[in-house]
C-alpha cells in the first residue's frame, strides 16, 4: 500500500509534537539544574557583597544575578568558587557580575557576527 499525503502530514504533526514535548522537558530540566546550582552558590554572598558593595551587600535580586553570572563562566569557574568563595577575587572581571557591567545574557549568548 502506498503512503498517502494525509498520512505523511499526520506523521509529521506527531513528530513535531514529540519534539516540542522533548524541548519542554529539556527546558524544565535546565531550569531545575540552574536553580540548584544557583542555590549551591549562596555561600559566596559575603565575598560577592564585599566585591560589589562593601558594607551594603547586593541583596536578594542582585545576589541571584551575581551567582548566575558566576555560573555563566562555566563549570571550572563554578567549581572553583564553590570550593573557595575567595577565588572570586581572582576573576579579572569580578565587578562585572555586580549588575554594573556585563549583563548575564551577554555572558552566555555570543554576539552575532
pLDDT digits (tens, 9 = 90+) for 3-57: 555 555 555 566 666 667 667 777 788 888 888 988 888 888 888 877 877 766 5
Looking at residue 99, what DSSP letter applies? T
Cell numbers linked to 11: 506523521
pLDDT of 106 above 80: no
> In this model, does residue 101 exceed pLDDT 50?
no
Q: Where are the domains of the chain?
A: 31-107
Kindly state the average pLDDT of the residues 79-98.
86
pLDDT at 83 over 90: yes
Provide the mean pLDDT of the chain.
74
Amino acid at each position: 500500500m502506498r503512503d498517502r499525503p494525509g498520512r505523511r502530514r499526520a506523521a509529521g504533526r506527531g513528530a513535531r509534537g514529540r519534539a516540542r514535548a522533548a524541548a519542554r522537558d529539556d527546558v524544565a530540566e535546565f531550569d531545575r539544574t540552574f536553580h540548584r546550582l544557583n542555590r549551591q552558590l549562596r555561600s559566596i554572598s559575603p565575598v560577592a557583597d564585599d566585591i560589589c558593595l562593601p558594607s551594603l551587600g547586593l541583596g536578594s535580586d542582585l545576589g541571584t544575578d551575581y551567582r548566575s553570572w558566576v555560573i555563566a563562566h562555566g563549570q571550572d569557574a563554578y567549581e572553583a568558587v564553590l570550593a573557595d568563595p575567595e577565588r572570586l577575587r581572582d576573576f579579572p572581571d569580578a565587578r562585572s557580575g555586580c549588575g554594573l557591567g556585563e549583563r548575564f545574557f551577554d555572558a552566555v549568548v555570543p554576539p552575532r557576527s
